[in-house]
Structure 1
Amino acid sequence: MRALVETINQTLRNIGLGPGRVLLETIESFEELSLSDQERVSALASSIANSALAYHRTRIAGYLDAIRGSAMTIALEILPPPPVADSCPLLGNIAEGADLLSSGLNQLIDALCLASICMEDRIIAEIALYARLLGRHDPNTVQIVLRGIDEALSHPDFATGDLVAVALVDPSPLDLSLPLDRMPTLGVA
């Protein structure tokens, strides 16, 4: 994983000031949005899933693995706290965040093309954008987000532009007031 991070850092040096500024402005603009943690990870998942479908259809697994590896390296290095679960995220906020990221990605791709940056560095810059945002969450959340993206992309009706809702809250929490003999069995140890 360390090699991937070093590759990303070298690519960010290679792409120059213009595209680098677009990447940083996109990250800053997304961070400035007033989104709950649930809305933030859902917007991020939506944008990553749409990018995978639109630009990386033939190599989605590799693309997501690269984001996972990079984001996990960042998360394990900074050890952020787990997100605060929001029981009622607003779809409009998720859509706004996803649109901002998708628009920023398109601007980044345009800036990279104008600067005649090679395809490999363009893909790595895109991975850096998503990994830096996703890596600001704890490793468990990184895995939850990527699992949500995998599930969305494997659904036959998923299309570019669709939102991916990532649940940070257990949809069926246990009722801890029940006596032990009445609690459901969740697995076998």
Structure 2
Amino acid sequence: MRRGRWTVIAGAILLVGAAAASADPITIISDGRITAALPSTSDANGASRQNVADRQRDTLKATASASTGTSAGVSVATLVSSFSDPMHWSATGTADATWFTLDTADYFLESVFNVAFVVTSPVNYRFNGTFQSSSSNTGSPFQGGSQIGAGGGLFRETPQPDDPEHPSVVFAGGGLHAGLLVPDKYFFDFGASGSGLTRHGG
């Protein structure tokens, strides 16, 4: 019997202040917030799989489970976020997976705060992003692996002159970032995700 669990938590706050007096310098044009969970298990007693997603609300939760009776997995992804005030955004996302299996378990889940917006006059921004993770995988010898993490960044649609095929990176990763956003279209993406596979192998 193989047992495992991993958890990743991500938090982000984006504070924006107008560099000069202007009405509504930020307009949100796309809401791509999503949580998704997909666990599956299989052994001599059969196979089970479930796929659940939740989208485009301030409080999102995707919970999915799979069970053969002798092997089981549960995946839960949550996102609590807000941009009702375009000048003050916040988000906290979690991704948590647990399983026990006689043979095979695999899983995918994500919690993502994704927004596209237009800046019509210069604004200052201050971003603070943090994340933490933990994992365990114990029991009889198995093969497989998992990948968990959190992060993201802010991107500007106008590319750099030396890389015309891709948007410009304003910042990437967690920690503290601050600066000035000039008029343009921007994409903000931050979240937690994980995937993995474990199977009997020795």
TM category, shorter: under 0.3
Greater strand content: 2
Specify the structure having the higher radius of gyration (Cα).
2
Q: Which has the higher contact order (CA 8 A, sep 6+)?
A: 1
Structure 2 length-normalised TM: 0.25
TM-score by length of 1: 0.26
